[in-house]
């Protein structure tokens, strides 16, 4: 697994080590320890990929759906975080003032949409299940709903024709098939930059989350 390297000024090195940063034996760099939140080390992460959602564990779900492009039966994959997940909103973070808002718990489980960043370990869990979920650099093809037009985001693609399957299409298509959704529990930390979407009972709940 790719390690997240920390850029720590010499005078903060001791502080970073006390916080738990580890020394990569191969490079000598300080790195985020495996199994810990990258966001806890954010002031030392180069080009910090603003993380706004995190959780102690999560699910990947696979929902059967029909490809709106070629019509084959395929699956829509996504991430689902438990109600104990934490969020930090963009508008409450100010780079110039270096104001850090505390993480807070919303108290609802969410499936995530419009994901712009995933930590390498979280992405690896998904790519082990499907090759159709990846960062789409032309996300406006077939998606008039993209809330940030032109901005790449992680999206599902049909396993046959590779057309993007949008969240809006999946929500519309999948309703009656909700009881056929598969949940894959992952007992590791989750971190992402994403929009979010309350489940609204559409799919029921992941097993063990009632
Ligand atoms: Zn297709």
SS3 assignment for 99-140: ECCCCEECCCCEEEEEEEEECHHHHHHHHCCCCCEEEECCCC
What is the pTM assigned to this prediction? 0.83
Q: Whole-angstrom Cα distance, residue 122 to residue 186?
A: 9
CB burial of residue 25 (10 Å; 0-12, 13-18, 19+): exposed
Q: Whole-angstrom Cα distance, residue 17 to residue 30?
A: 8
CA of 160 to the centre of ligand 1 (A): 5
Tell the residue number behind the tokens 């159709």, with chain if given: 132
CA of 177 to the centre of ligand 1 (A): 18
Give the model confidence (pLDDT) of 156-190 as tens digits.
999 999 999 888 787 766 554 556 788 999 999 99
Distances (CA, A) of 14 to 8, 11, 170: 10, 7, 49
CA of 54 to the centre of ligand 1 (A): 32
Contact between residue 101 and residue 89 where contact means Cβ atoms under 8 Å apart:
yes
CA of 11 to the centre of ligand 1 (A): 54
The residue ranges of every structural domain in the chain are 5-44, 53-203
CA of 165 to the centre of ligand 1 (A): 8
Give the model confidence (pLDDT) of 13-71 as tens digits.
999 999 999 999 999 999 999 889 999 999 999 888 889 999 999 999 998 888 888 99
Residue 22 φ then ψ, to 5°: -110, 155
CA of 117 to the centre of ligand 1 (A): 25
Ion ligand 1: residues, Cβ under 5 Å? 67, 69-70, 158, 160-161, 163
């Amino acid at each position: 697994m790719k390690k997240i390297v920390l850029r720590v000024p010499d005078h903060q090195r001791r502080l970073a080590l006390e916080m738990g940063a580890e020394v990569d034996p191969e490079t000598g760099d300080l790195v985020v320890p495996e199994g810990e939140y990258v966001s806890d080390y954010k002031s030392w992460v180069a080009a910090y990929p603003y993380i706004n959602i995190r959780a102690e564990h999560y699910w990947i779900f696979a929902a059967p759906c029909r490809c709106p492009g070629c019509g084959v039966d395929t699956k829509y994959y996504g991430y689902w975080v438990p109600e104990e997940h934490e969020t930090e909103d963009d508008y409450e973070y100010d780079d110039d003032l270096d104001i850090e808002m505390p993480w807070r718990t919303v108290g609802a489980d969410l499936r995530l949409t419009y994901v712009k960043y995933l930590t390498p370990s979280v992405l690896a869990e998904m790519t082990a299940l499907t090759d159709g979920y990846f960062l789409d650099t032309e996300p406006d093809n077939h998606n008039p709903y993209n809330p940030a037009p032109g901005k790449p985001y992680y999206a599902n693609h049909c396993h046959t024709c590779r057309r993007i399957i949008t969240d809006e299409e999946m929500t519309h298509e999948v309703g009656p098939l909700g009881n056929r959704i598969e949940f894959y529990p992952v007992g590791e930390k989750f971190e992402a930059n994403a929009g979010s979407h309350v489940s609204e009972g559409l799919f029921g709940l992941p097993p063990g989350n009632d």
